[in-house]
């Protein structure tokens, strides 16, 4: 990571830890960020969407998008970049949650959240679903900063990559959907 970005990232993360963390909010944010472990929250929501004809395509799009994101981020970019977590490079910095993956860039939680959100945005039938998905993704990214397990550039990169994976996943499913018998698709 370029030195100027690393310095800004460290300053921003220390500022968040010193000025935004509070005893009342900590357990709420810790709980929410843990829901993103292994994509649990977003995989669960996508599977739930598969259960209803009206949201089936959005659910399939989200699952496809998160699978693409998993391959791109966790199996490709993270091991190649190997950026250490904040507590490994910032002296006396403590995260609020334990993270076993030593690689920080990009944020996998944020990637999964935005892959889900943009796929849902592209395929969900209701506006409120689209807005809720994007809000949940943004909160996931912010939670990763709050608990101190990622630098801001990790989260930004996770959001951008996840968004692209979301759009790609929605496109792939849309193309496949055109070949699926109408009775399995549900209403558009």
What's the pLDDT band for 38 if we cut at 50, 70, 90?
confident
pTM of the full structure? 0.92
Distance CA 39, CA 110 (A): 9
Q: What is the mean pLDDT of the chain?
A: 93
What is residue 1's predicted lDDT score, i.e. its pLDDT?
A: 72
Residues 6+ apart with CB under 8 A from 151: 6, 9, 10, 12, 13, 83, 86, 104, 105
Domains and CATH numbers, the chain: 3-17+40-179 (1.20.144.10)
What is residue 120's predicted lDDT score, i.e. its pLDDT?
A: 98
What's the pLDDT band for 59 if we cut at 50, 70, 90?
very high
Peptide bond into 44 cis (omega under 30): no
What is residue 64's predicted lDDT score, i.e. its pLDDT?
A: 98
What is residue 185's predicted lDDT score, i.e. its pLDDT?
A: 57
Residues 101-159 have pLDDT tens digits of: 899 999 999 999 999 999 999 999 999 999 999 999 999 999 999 999 999 999 999 99
What's the pLDDT band for 96 if we cut at 50, 70, 90?
very high
Q: Kindly report which listed range (88-92, 163-167, 183-187) carries the lowest average pLDDT score.
A: 183-187
Residues 6+ apart with CB under 8 A from 160: 114
Are 65 and 170 in contact by the 8 Å Cβ rule? The answer is yes
Are 76 and 122 in contact by the 8 Å Cβ rule? The answer is no
């Amino acid at each position: 990571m370029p030195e100027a970005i690393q310095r800004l990232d460290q300053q921003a993360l220390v500022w968040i830890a010193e000025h935004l963390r509070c005893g009342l909010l900590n357990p709420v944010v810790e709980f929410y960020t843990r829901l993103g472990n292994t994509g649990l929250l977003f995989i669960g929501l996508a599977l739930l969407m598969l259960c209803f004809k009206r949201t089936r395509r959005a659910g399939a799009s989200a699952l496809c998008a998160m699978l693409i994101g998993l391959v791109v981020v966790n199996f490709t970019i993270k091991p190649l970049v190997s950026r250490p977590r904040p507590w490994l490079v910032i002296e006396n910095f403590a995260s609020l949650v334990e993270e076993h993956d030593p690689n920080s860039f990009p944020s996998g939680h944020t990637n999964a959240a935005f892959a889900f959100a943009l796929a849902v945005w592209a395929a969900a039938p209701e506006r409120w679903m689209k807005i809720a998905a994007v809000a949940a993704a943004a909160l996931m990214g912010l939670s990763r900063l709050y608990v101190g397990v990622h630098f801001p550039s990790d989260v930004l990169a996770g959001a951008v990559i996840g968004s692209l994976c979301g759009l790609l996943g929605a496109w792939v499913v849309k193309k496949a959907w055109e070949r699926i018998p109408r009775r399995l698709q549900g209403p558009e």
